[in-house]
Amino acid sequence: MVVDFLSYSLIPLFSALAIPFIARKNKRLIELLSNVTLLSGLLNLSYILLSYLIKNNYETFTMDVYSFSMIFTIYLVGLSITFFSTHYGIENDTNPTSYYPLILIGVSAMSSIVIAQDIFTLYIFVEALSVVSFALITSDNSHTSIEASIKYFFLTFPASVLIIFGISILLLNHPNLDFSTIKDTSSKFLTIIALSMITVGFLIKSGIVPFHFWTPDVYQGAYSPISALLAGIITKIGGVYAIIKIGILISNSQLNYFISKILLLSGILSVLIGAFLAMIQKDFKRMLAYSSISQMGYIILAVATFTPLGIIAAVFHLINHATFKTVLFLNSACVEKQTGTTNILELKGLEHRMPTTAWTSIIAMMATAGIPPLSGFWSKLLIIVALWKNGNIYYAIIALIASIITLAYFMILQKKVFFGKLPEKFDGVKEAKFQLLIPVVVISGIIIFSGLFFDRVYSYLSRIV
């Protein structure tokens, strides 16, 4: 474990353990404790990050850039969810005494994942995260959320099986499961089998074709703020993070070729299938789920190149996508709360009544589609350039064409849901409470600014490799 970041993992854990004892019945105290924990962590992290970004001088930056960025993203998304849940009115649906601690444990588990230095520790915390997420998905005890949780469990336990099998096989060769030893001896046959099983396991966990079947049902069925957490960070840290880590490790082994082929194939299929299926969806959240599949495909495509540019592109797209999906899912939660439906066929003309929700959603959608000068444009550009430079020209072209389809379905969504004439039944709809909008606006601001100041961000991220 990287000792620098240990506190980021332990403090939410302690808060989570403290809440049932200290603040069992006092809802205000629970909210205060959880929000302040995450907020303090975020302020600390953003202070460090911004000071380096503004100075643009990384001589003294001794921490691992990848872990640092991941922890920053985890805290950002986590804080958004807790802050959102505070004002969303979760006490009607669930028990805050269990809800907030579960989120805090989730944050702690994710932080531990990203600071793990050997694969078994990584696996333990991934499992912890999964358990927490099973519970969180069913927060509001509705039929759809219980079905979603069951599907999530049953469709991702093969992943856990594969990963633990892979780790066991690794033990045959390396009694010490450190990442550095894996890197050194990664050309032996057993290591290759083990790493391939681990990769496939994490592919299942991140929702890549052909293992993506759980994604739409789970995202749609989960409790709305939790689907934001799920899509925003859990599937990323619990899935794609490890693949990128393995990618950084095995850059020069003969495993490269096969894994690269598989990852390219899965990636491009995810991009296409996610995009095509998203076009005909009638439910807002399900469409966002398919869009997630598509964007995860882009990340996997970038990792598949195993070049420094590809890794940087993958990490940047991961962070970006975390922000986009958080904004979109939180906004869909707002819309659902105000209008009572997430059916695209019924929603219309919401921009007149809910302007902030509408415009932040539009910014996030345009960023996902890759429109300059937002940050999504840069990350997509990096991915396509990395693919092209690596020689996978056809993949680059197909990815580029698929972004037209991305643009298409997001345009349809924007036009249908937010613009147009407001039907009479939505006349009484008001804008969501302004506290619900604060996290969304802040993250939209991050999207815009990291797009505008991309050169700073890039000089920061290029230190990953």
Partner 1 sequence: MNEIQNLILIPIILPLTAGVLTLMVRERTKYLKEFIAISTTLVSLFSSLTALKYVNSIGDINYECDWLGSFSLMQFRVDQLSAFILLSVSLFSFLISIYSISVKNKGNSKIFYFLLLLTQFQAAGVAVSDNLISMLFFWESMVIVLYLYIYISASTNSTRTTALKAFLINGVSDLALLIGIMILGYISNTFVMSEISKSKLIVSGWATIAYILLLTGTLTKAGAFPFHTWIPDAALNSNAAFMAYIPASIDKLLGIYFLTRITVFLYTLNHTMQLIVMGVGAITIIVAVMMAFIQTDYKRLLSYHAISQTGYMILGVGTLNPIGIAGGLFHMVNNAIYKSCLFMTSGAVERQTDTNNLEKLGGLFSKMPITAICFIISAAAISGIPPLNGFFSKELVYKGSLLTGYTIFFIAAEIGSIFTLASFLKLGHTVFFDKPSSSIENVKEAPLSMLIPMIILCILCIIFGFGAHFPIRHFISPSLISLGYISEELSGFHTDNLFLVALSVILIALTNHIFGYQRTNRAYKASDHIHHAPILKDIYEMAEKGYFDLYEIFKKIFRTFANFLFKIDRVFDSIIDYIPSNSSYKISETFSSVHSGVYSLYMFFIFSFAIIFVIYLGGIKW
The residues that touch partner 1, with contacts defined as CB under 8 A, are: 151, 154-155, 158, 162, 192-193, 196-197, 199-200, 203-204, 210-211, 213-214, 216-217, 255, 258-259, 262, 273, 276-277, 279-281, 405, 408
Alpha helices in 280-433 (DSSP H): 284-304, 308-339, 355-369, 375-390, 393-413
CB of 201 to partner 1, least distance (A): 8
Distance CA 68, CA 369 (A): 27
CB of 409 to partner 1, least distance (A): 9
Q: CB of 358 within 8 A of CB of 418?
A: yes
Q: Which is nearer to partner 1, 66 or 211 (CB)?
A: 211
CB of 206 to partner 1, least distance (A): 13
CB of 185 to partner 1, least distance (A): 16
Helix, strand, coil percent content, the chain, rounded in steps of 5: 80, 0, 20
Per-residue tokens: 19: 């809440």
Distance CA 169, CA 174 (A): 9
Q: Which is nearer to partner 1, 72 or 202 (CB)?
A: 202
Q: Which is nearer to partner 1, 210 or 373 (CB)?
A: 210
Q: Which is nearer to partner 1, 88 or 202 (CB)?
A: 202
CB of 450 to partner 1, least distance (A): 31
CB of 149 to partner 1, least distance (A): 13
Q: Which is nearer to partner 1, 50 or 397 (CB)?
A: 397
Greatest CA separation for the chain? 68
Tokens 């920053």, residue located: 72
Name the nearest CA neighbour of 454 among 366, 380, 364.
380
What does residue 283 show for φ and ψ, rounded to 5 degrees? -115, 135
Q: Which is nearer to partner 1, 100 or 214 (CB)?
A: 214
Q: Which is nearer to partner 1, 9 or 292 (CB)?
A: 292
User: How far, rounded to the nearest angstrom, does the alpha carbon of residue 322 sit from its chain's CA centroid?
Assistant: 4
Name the nearest CA neighbour of 71 among 51, 48, 54.
48
CB of 413 to partner 1, least distance (A): 14
Name the nearest CA neighbour of 295 among 370, 223, 385, 211.
370
- From residue 30, how far is each of 24, 83, 107, 334 by CA, in Å? 8, 12, 16, 22
Q: Which is nearer to partner 1, 139 or 406 (CB)?
A: 406
What does residue 159 show for φ and ψ, rounded to 5 degrees? -65, -50
Q: Which is nearer to partner 1, 13 or 194 (CB)?
A: 194
Q: Which is nearer to partner 1, 47 or 213 (CB)?
A: 213
Name the nearest CA neighbour of 98 among 145, 126, 146, 132.
132
CB of 243 to partner 1, least distance (A): 13
Nearest-5° Cα angle at 431, 425 to 436: 135
For 345, counting Cβ atoms within 10 Å of its Cβ (0-12 exposed, 13-18 middle, 19+ buried), the class is exposed
Name the nearest CA neighbour of 215 among 301, 132, 137.
137
What DSSP designation does 111 have?
H
Buried (b) or exposed (e) across 275-287, using 16+ Cβ within 10 A? bebbeebebbbbb
Residue 289 has a CB neighbour count (10 Å cut-off) of 30
Q: Which is nearer to partner 1, 305 or 357 (CB)?
A: 305
CB of 191 to partner 1, least distance (A): 10
CB of 431 to partner 1, least distance (A): 33
CB of 213 to partner 1, least distance (A): 4
Residues 192/198/201/203 CA torsion (nearest 10 deg): -80
